[in-house]
Structure 1
């Protein structure tokens, strides 16, 4: 069976990781063909670009995307993974309207859809009105490179670590404020964030007198990322919304305690193995940062529970289920 894949997501992104892990476990009787879709993933013309790339591909096979973009028209069965509905929540009115009037119709035409958490599946079903039997739960896994054993990032100071982009719903403004309100700066525990220097966050840090305590790493090569998790005193992932949140699992696998939010998918993924806080309360966030860096009994318990919890997310199991669903939609 030929799988015509939209592979536009960069390897270092969350969707890029999911795409690579699933394709690496594709059954031997399936063959992936890169559609080499042109144009930006986020363009409103992205569904059309996919359809144009499918022209002349014949009537046998399946269109598959590890991302969220369905084709505008497609004579093949199509299967996409929906990671969240953040675009219609946080990307402005135009994006919400586009989702509600265009994407919803395209999703309804899809042969099958996978959601990465029960939270996302429930929200997607309510929004889309698609029959429940067509929308499946397929959890993400944790990549094998994330283990407790190996090099630790050692910059010469202790730090708490945030891994992710700087979009508004990642709640980084409140994170910087909570860090400033905590005891961490006075204890010389720095806040390390992935990504290029963020002028708005730096200005906020300067206002609170912690400008030299907030560190931006730039883009970290994927092979070096586990060392940053292992070296951290704790991992912070206190977003205001997530569809899954791979960094939580990655931290569990590296033996690092996690503080995350008590809303959306984050409690589901944490499964009792992370410290949960209200991401809208700077005070609660600050208290959580203090607790997870000072309370040794709490830290020990979170690390132990994280080891157990990460075993519930296995790419081999997820890939086996995913490719079975893709195969089934081709037969329908």
Structure 2
């Protein structure tokens, strides 16, 4: 029998209850890897959150918690020593930073995207770029990608940007797609959708958005397009957002004359998401810049029509599963909103396209391809 590959993980983020972005990626990957001959060993500075560990198969992983110490000491002194003591075959840092300078085993980094560099840091003033916190972030990110023997990224678009903006060699990079959580692939019954509509007081047909509300997410554009569609009965439902962000969008909705047709859900519990996607006329993602677009995968898996901006990675992920719209003008999205609201056959076709496309993404496939990166990395560094 082939011996399981012992892969060490920087699990620093799993000590917090937060379940966004990178944490969701780490947990889904850890849950799927044991089926592909990988024994994860999780390293952290603090106790890992019980809710996260409950998502992993029993007895499929090991945990190592260090004594209290400064993070940099943990990363560059304690962690390398522990990796050697545990006979780790490959070390994986599943986030953009957190790679020790030296280890006795090969190193894999997941570099999710270069949004921070392309979209934020380059827009900073020189004063803000030279702040100690900014310099420290830039240095730790540089260390992670330079010290990595192999780098995984999550889309072909992200790979091109990494090569272009960070000058990482193509041969060092492998694209491995993410996927929706398994709960989005299950059958969602009409009664569940109806309960969700009742719980959130969604009596009218609705368009749905879920995600961050920062400037690049481009939500004002969505509101303008919704207003331009001049629909008679439909509403716009927005999940997420901080109070100040909600206030700004509410003021815009009043200016556009649609305040009574925009509903702010705030934080949405994870268990409610599949039925909210499935009950929507369409999920709309107007983002200007994405490394992947996980919500697009979630919506497609739940059988929700998707309309995504023809921008960065979104056309790659949606593929034939959704419709694209330009961010240069508002008529394309407004026309799509009108069509899906009034043409039930069009919506039915979009549902089938979304479900078919969603079959291209699974955490089992992600884990299999990631395990292959580990094996190649170990083979080429032995």
TM-score interval, smaller chain: 0.7 to 0.9
Question: How many residues align structurally?
Answer: 325
Tell me, yes or no, if structure 1 residue 222 matches structure 2 residue 270: yes
2:218 counterpart residue number: 171
Aligned Cα root-mean-square deviation (Å): 2.7
With 109-118 and 280-289 compared, the bigger mean Cα shift is at: 280-289
Q: 2:300 & 2:9 partners in 1: Cα distance?
A: 34
1:54 counterpart residue number: 79
Q: 1:212 & 1:123 partners in 2: Cα distance?
A: 41
1:162 counterpart residue number: 209
1:65 counterpart residue number: 93
Q: 1:7 & 1:319 partners in 2: Cα distance?
A: 20
Q: 1:201 & 1:48 partners in 2: Cα distance?
A: 44
Q: Is the CA contact 1:36–1:53 (under 8 Å) kept in the aligned structure 2?
A: no
Shift of 1:133: 2.2
1:35 counterpart residue number: 44
Q: Which runs of 5+ in 2 are unaligned?
A: 1-5, 48-69
Q: 1:242 & 1:109 partners in 2: Cα distance?
A: 25
Shift of 1:316: 0.5
Q: Structure 1 pair 46/165, CA: closer, same or farther in 2 (3 Å)?
A: farther
Q: 2:165 & 2:295 partners in 1: Cα distance?
A: 27
Q: 2:78 & 2:247 partners in 1: Cα distance?
A: 39
Name the TM-score, length of structure 1 as normaliser: 0.87
With 196-205 and 270-279 compared, the bigger mean Cα shift is at: 196-205
Q: 1:72 & 1:265 partners in 2: Cα distance?
A: 30
Tell me, yes or no, if structure 1 residue 19 matches structure 2 residue 48: no
Shift of 1:324: 2.7
2:297 counterpart residue number: 249
Shift of 1:23: 0.3
Q: 1:114 & 1:134 partners in 2: Cα distance?
A: 8
1:116 counterpart residue number: 154
Q: 2:71 & 2:216 partners in 1: Cα distance?
A: 23
Q: Any idea what SS the aligned residue of 2:356 has?
A: helix
Q: 1:242 & 1:48 partners in 2: Cα distance?
A: 33
Q: 1:270 & 1:212 partners in 2: Cα distance?
A: 31
Aligned positions of 1:188-267 closer than 5 A: 188-197=234-243, 198-267=246-315
Q: Structure 1 pair 301/329, CA: closer, same or farther in 2 (3 Å)?
A: same
Q: Which runs of 5+ in 1 are unaligned?
A: 39-44
Shift of 1:11: 5.0
Shift of 1:7: 4.2
Q: 1:211 & 1:245 partners in 2: Cα distance?
A: 28
Q: Structure 1 pair 207/46, CA: closer, same or farther in 2 (3 Å)?
A: farther
Tell me, yes or no, if structure 1 residue 269 matches structure 2 residue 317: yes
Q: Is the CA contact 1:229–1:254 (under 8 Å) kept in the aligned structure 2?
A: yes
Aligned positions of 1:276-291 closer than 5 A: 276-291=324-339
Answer with 1 or 2: which has the greater Rg.
Answer: 2
2:51 counterpart residue number: none
Shift of 1:148: 4.1
Q: 1:48 & 1:270 partners in 2: Cα distance?
A: 42
Q: 2:340 & 2:236 partners in 1: Cα distance?
A: 14
Pick the structure with more helix per residue: 2
Q: Any idea what SS the aligned residue of 1:187 has?
A: coil
Q: Is the CA contact 1:47–1:69 (under 8 Å) kept in the aligned structure 2?
A: no
